[in-house]
Amino acid sequence: MRIGVLTGGGDAPGLNAVIRAVVKAAHNCGIDCVGLEDSFDGLIEPDRSRRLTPRDVTGILRLGGTILGTTNRGNPFAYPVATSEGTHDYSDRVVEMFHKMGLGAVIVIGGDGTLAIGHRFFCRGIPVVGVPKTIDNDIVGTTNCFGFDTAVAFATDAIDRLHTTAEAHHRIMVVEVMGRYTGWIALYSGVAGGADAILIPEIPFEIEKVAARLKERERLGAKFSIVVVAEGAFPKGGTLSLVEKAREGRVERLGGIGAQVCEALGRTTGKETRSVVLGHLQRGGAPTSFDRVLATRFGAKAVELVRSGEFGTMVAFAPPDIVARRLDEVVGKTRIVPSDFDLVATAKSLGVTFGD
Ligand code: F6P
């Protein structure tokens, strides 16, 4: 048997660890692997794929990025093209190429968008197994996606560094983190880094309430504060802050709320404020040991599902087990921070404000 493996959407630390696990586990049970380049482009264009042997994946466990390349503009059902058409449907070609290449299945490693594409191809007869990937940790059906722990570790380190400069200058430091429409990275890094305010999309904030809490801290003797803002956070009654609207084949890009919160807090508290955007630094670098282990378990489980013919599924973490979920039950949904999540309550009990 021969299977294809691809990585789609934004990269996340641990992608290479999954590829390595897939290739090694497959090889050890006599399955050949073909690496498809730049997401589904490897099934659209000829010569955008290569055979992967265990030797090809030696030494990549600890590497960020993906040896296969990735793109979040490569949806074969609506591929952006530079004509008046805007997008083109290459899905027939993908199905044709899949058969021409002699593949028996494809392991699709990606976030919600890529998994949704994988599910559409499963409905077109291609045996697909998905592996959930995103630093945002917003995929339904799994408690963790690999990449999230690494992003949180990086953001926590950044918050630690901001603490010392904030304290030295008696400033309010605002740090904007990624997460799209969810506040998982902000919440975990905010708690781990000891932030004084954490603003997340699930809890629209009132800037006056944030300012009041920071002023109270000042009265109690704390001359500085740290505010962690998720890129998708927005004020009560307000809207998301975008740096780019959605257009043909491209999703909207979030950003800018950190600077707005920084300006508003400076105005309302009278204190010196500075803001920093962590951006793509959160996606770079070596995966943490947790993400390496999770990615390795995901890769091996994906091969197991291929062997047992459980297609149209996604591997998932349901601690302590790695399980299979049906793709049609997870795609098109977003796993948000629940309003009764205990970590929110814990943070509040310690005096952290969410601006609500
Ligand atoms: O989904 C991962 C993510 O890093 C989000 O947190 C962020 O909003 C987005 O991707 C950024 O995408 P791009 O790499 O296209 O700028």
Of the pLDDT bands very low, low, confident and very high (cuts 50, 70, 90), residue 250 is confident
pLDDT at 118: 98
244 pLDDT higher than 80: yes
pLDDT at 247: 83
249 pLDDT higher than 80: no
| SS3 call for 269 | helix
Separation of 214 CA from ligand 1 center, angstroms? 30
296 pLDDT higher than 90: yes
164 pLDDT higher than 80: yes
pLDDT at 82: 76
Question: pLDDT tens digits, residue range 22-66?
Answer: 999 999 999 999 999 999 999 999 899 999 999 999 999 999 999
Separation of 179 CA from ligand 1 center, angstroms? 8
Of the pLDDT bands very low, low, confident and very high (cuts 50, 70, 90), residue 332 is very high
303 pLDDT higher than 90: yes
The ligand 1 atom nearest the CA atom of 232: 8
Q: Under a CB-based contact definition with an 8 Å cutoff, are residues 68 and 37 in contact?
A: yes
Q: Give the active site residues.
A: 136
Of the pLDDT bands very low, low, confident and very high (cuts 50, 70, 90), residue 298 is very high
- How far apart CA 205 and CA 216 sit, in angstroms, is 17
The ligand 1 atom nearest the CA atom of 253: 8
1 pLDDT higher than 90: yes
Question: pLDDT tens digits, residue range 67-90?
Answer: 999 998 889 999 888 776 688 999
Which amino acid residue places its CA nearest to atom 14 of ligand 1? 10
185 pLDDT higher than 90: yes
Separation of 331 CA from ligand 1 center, angstroms? 18
CA nearest neighbour of 235 among 268, 267, 271, 260: 260
**Average pLDDT of the residues in 235-260:** 93
Lowest mean pLDDT across 117-121, 153-157, 248-252, 330-334: 248-252
- How far apart CA 225 and CA 163 sit, in angstroms, is 8
Q: Under a CB-based contact definition with an 8 Å cutoff, are residues 94 and 17 in contact?
A: no
Judge if pTM exceeds 0.85: yes
Which amino acid residue places its CA nearest to atom 16 of ligand 1? 253
Q: What are phi and psi of 313, to 5 degrees?
A: -120, 170
117 pLDDT higher than 80: yes
- How far apart CA 119 and CA 113 sit, in angstroms, is 10
Any residues with CB less than 8 A from the CB of 226 and at least 6 apart, and which?
159, 162, 163, 166, 172, 173, 175, 193, 194, 195, 196, 197
Question: pLDDT tens digits, residue range 188-240?
Answer: 999 999 999 999 999 999 999 999 999 999 999 999 999 999 999 999 999 99
Separation of 109 CA from ligand 1 center, angstroms? 16
| Ligand 1 proximal residues by C-beta, below 6 Å | 10, 72, 111, 134-136, 178-180, 231, 253-254, 283
Local structure of residue 322 (DSSP, 8 states): E
Work out the number of other CB atoms within 10 angstroms of the CB of residue 209: 15
Tokens at 164, concatenated: 């010392």
pLDDT at 83: 72
The ligand 1 atom nearest the CA atom of 282: 4
Q: Under a CB-based contact definition with an 8 Å cutoff, are residues 292 and 268 in contact?
A: no
pLDDT at 200: 98
Burial of 231-244, coded b for 16+ CB within 10 Å and e otherwise, reads bbbbbeeeebbeee
Residue of 133, 138, 150, 180 to test ligand 1 pocket, by largest number of atoms within 8 Å of CB:
180
| Summary mean pLDDT of the chain | 97
pLDDT at 299: 98
Separation of 12 CA from ligand 1 center, angstroms? 10
The ligand 1 atom nearest the CA atom of 251: 15
